[in-house]
Amino acid sequence: MTEPDRLTEPDRMNEPAHTTTPGAVAEPMVAAAFAGALRPRRFGAWYIAEHQLRQMRSYGWTVVMSGIGSPLIYMLGIGLGLAAFLDVPVASGPDGPVDYLWFVAPALLATAAVSVTTEEFTYTVMAGFKWRRLFWGMNASPVSPEQICSGLVIAVTLRMVFVSAAYYLVMVLFGAVGDVVLGTLMVPVGVLAGLAFGLPLLAFSAGIEEDRGQFAMVQRFVFTPLFLFSGTFYPLDTLPVGLQWVGWISPIWHASEAGRLLSYGPGPGSWPLGAHLAVLALLAVVGWFVARRVFVGRLRS
Amino acid sequence: MTTVATTRNPGSLRALYSGNALAVVSRALQATRSSNWVVVVSGFFEPVFYLLAMGWGLGSFIGDVTLESGETVPYAAYIAPALLAVSAMNGAIYDSTWNVFFKMHFGKLYDAMLATSIGPLDVALGEIVYALLRGGVYAVGFMSVMQVLGLNLSWTAVLAIPAVLLVAFGFASVGMAVTSYMKTFQQMDWITFALLPMFLFSATFYPLSVYAEPIQWVIKALPLWHAVELVRGLTTGVLGPVMLVHVGYFLVMITAGVLATTTRLRALFLS
């Protein structure tokens, strides 16, 4: 990961980090300091990611238990319980109706990845900027604001990889996947969905100066409706047309549909895989650029 | 604390309860008005979203549901009372765990309160009454939505509001007792984690009959199942003597919860 050097900023290091002799008056300690800044300058994002991951270890058991426990409970409760109760087929693949479990599982995987970001890209960000002011401490080092942002994203991505992979394993155990080999691609698709939802959210959170319950509102009025109206439990076209747009803008719907294509192939009227991935990538990339700008704007002001 | 001990026996009721729980309630109401009322009001929408998404969408694949009594009701009318019970549980738990935890460890609010004539039982009752007021507002709102959508099938639905308060009281008192043992925010996640299976398995979205009998018995031991059955019986008008069992379950839960909370608060603050 090569970050662009921002050496022109007046309030940061005036000397280019890669010149080891900063002048005739250079003392050995100054030279050592500049030499020591080289690696953080280049790999700063990874240092930040390491820090964030170590921080996650303080609630490591929660991460592991919810990462493995939630899929188990959802697969039992929705996948098996509700599936046993439904006697009409809900969804179809290329060869006619598919198991309800096959239909619902990819959506639950995507939701799990997205819900990681509702925690890590909200309260964690607020803690970094305001409550514990960790980002300001990092900012006082050779690490750049962009790298702080990237480091956070790397750490959360790794947590999402773990959650999605755990979900996928549970799905395989429950026989909830059509094509087990192709289905493994649901893990990166789930992570992409998490980024598509999470990076715009990160941009929003990074701009918040005062906590007035915005995150509870995001949870209630953005995450929950997207989860419920994204064709998660039944096909999107069952909803009234007035509500179907919720699915079209929802990373959860795009990732669920992509997961279904990978698991059992296209049903009637499904979009091509590339279209779903393109929407997810677009949301992620736009969110990424805005989030970095907000980090730079706030930490360099 | 020797001076206190000479005037008030720490075990007596006078030391625990000064009859001023309303001071705790009015403090909570003022705090709500000045800081987080938007968040409080928004809590009403959560069960409504679930009702629309599951009742409508999934309902078109399910049609009618046969109750254990043999009556059939539309799917939306089947899950609506369950969502009401779930939101009573969630609201009560949220208030009595996260809020109380914060006030206990960060706001140091109870230290301040207990330094006055207010006793631990006042604090416990005051916090619980506040949680019930909030739960009552949600319940009335959600019942109105059910009425508009035609999901209240009997006049007995009116009784669902006191029933929901009873349920909320039960969860709030036990939740507060559990919270008093919590040391860190991360331990709080375990509560959320304990609620998830109850939410999914307690005959919320489909009847218990899909499970094997031993599993059914486990679920029937859990409080949310009793809450769902009680509220559902009242809104659908399918009543029976078993309703008294559900009510009794919550009466026991309330008594145990209030006793445990008071004991814990006394141990934490007055020893």
> For chain B, what percentages of helix, strand and coil (3-state, to nearest 5) are there?
80, 0, 20
* B188 at interface of A, judged by CB pairs closer than 8 A: no
Band (pLDDT 50/70/90 cuts) for residue A255 is very high
Distance CA(A180)–CA(A88), nearest Å, equals 25
Q: Which residues of B touch A58 (CB under 8 A)?
A: 186
Interface contact A69-B200, CB threshold 8 A: no
Lowest mean pLDDT among A13-17, A235-239, A267-271: A13-17
* B49 at interface of A, judged by CB pairs closer than 8 A: yes
Interface contact A59-B189, CB threshold 8 A: yes
How many helices and strands in chain A, by DSSP H and E?
Answer: 14, 2
How does pLDDT run across B181-230, given as a tens digit for each residue? 887 766 777 787 888 889 999 999 999 988 889 999 999 999 999 999 99
Chain A residue with Cα closest to B197: A73
- Average pLDDT rounded to a whole number, residues B162-167: 94
Interface contact B200-A239, CB threshold 8 A: no
Residue A165 has pLDDT above 90, yes or no: yes
Residue A6 has pLDDT above 50, yes or no: no
A58, A216, A229 ranked by CB distance to B39: nearest: A216
| Cβ neighbourhood burial of B115 (10 Å; 0-12, 13-18, 19+) | exposed
Task: Write down the pLDDT at residue A190.
Answer: 97
* B249 at interface of A, judged by CB pairs closer than 8 A: no
Task: Write down the pLDDT at residue A180.
Answer: 94
Distance CA(B157)–CA(A103), nearest Å, equals 36
Interface contact B50-A228, CB threshold 8 A: yes
How does pLDDT run across A82-114, given as a tens digit for each residue? 888 887 888 888 888 999 999 999 999 999 999
Distance CA(A287)–CA(A56), nearest Å, equals 23
Distance from CA of B63 to the nearest CA of A (A): 10
Band (pLDDT 50/70/90 cuts) for residue A253 is very high
Task: Write down the pLDDT at residue A172.
Answer: 95
Distance CA(B235)–CA(B243), nearest Å, equals 13
Residue A15 has pLDDT above 50, yes or no: no
* B190 at interface of A, judged by CB pairs closer than 8 A: yes
Chain A residue with Cα closest to B185: A59
* A62 at interface of B, judged by CB pairs closer than 8 A: yes
Band (pLDDT 50/70/90 cuts) for residue A7 is very low
| Cβ neighbourhood burial of B142 (10 Å; 0-12, 13-18, 19+) | buried
Q: Which of B67, B75, B77, B204 is nearest to A77 (CA)?
A: B204
Residue A8 has pLDDT above 80, yes or no: no
B45, B46, B193 ranked by CB distance to A69: nearest: B193
Task: Write down the pLDDT at residue B270.
Answer: 65
Distance CA(B120)–CA(B269), nearest Å, equals 8
B94 CB-near residues (< 8 Å, 6+ apart)? B43
Interface contact A81-B36, CB threshold 8 A: no
* B60 at interface of A, judged by CB pairs closer than 8 A: yes
Q: Which residues of B touch A65 (CB under 8 A)?
A: 190, 193
* A229 at interface of B, judged by CB pairs closer than 8 A: yes
* Residues 136-155 in B contacting A (C-alpha not used; CB under 8 Å): none
B45, B58, B207 ranked by CB distance to A234: nearest: B58
Chain A residue with Cα closest to B50: A228
Distance from CA of B40 to the nearest CA of A (A): 10
A61, A82, A239 ranked by CB distance to B206: nearest: A82
How does pLDDT run across B257-271, given as a tens digit for each residue? 989 988 888 887 766
Distance CA(A251)–CA(A222), nearest Å, equals 11
CA B50 to chain centre: 18
Chain B residue with Cα closest to A56: B186
B46, B57, B189 ranked by CB distance to A238: nearest: B57
DSSP 8-state symbol, A219: I
How does pLDDT run across A204-246, given as a tens digit for each residue? 999 998 888 888 889 889 999 999 999 999 999 888 888 889 9
Interface contact B200-A62, CB threshold 8 A: no
* B66 at interface of A, judged by CB pairs closer than 8 A: no
Distance CA(A109)–CA(B205), nearest Å, equals 20
Q: Which residues of B touch A86 (CB under 8 A)?
A: 61-62
Distance CA(B77)–CA(A254), nearest Å, equals 31
A59, A213, A225 ranked by CB distance to B39: nearest: A213
Q: Which residues of B touch A98 (CB under 8 A)?
A: none
Q: How far is CA A87 from CA A198, B153, B216, in A?
A: 36, 25, 21
Band (pLDDT 50/70/90 cuts) for residue B77 is very high
B42, B53, B207 ranked by CB distance to A221: nearest: B42
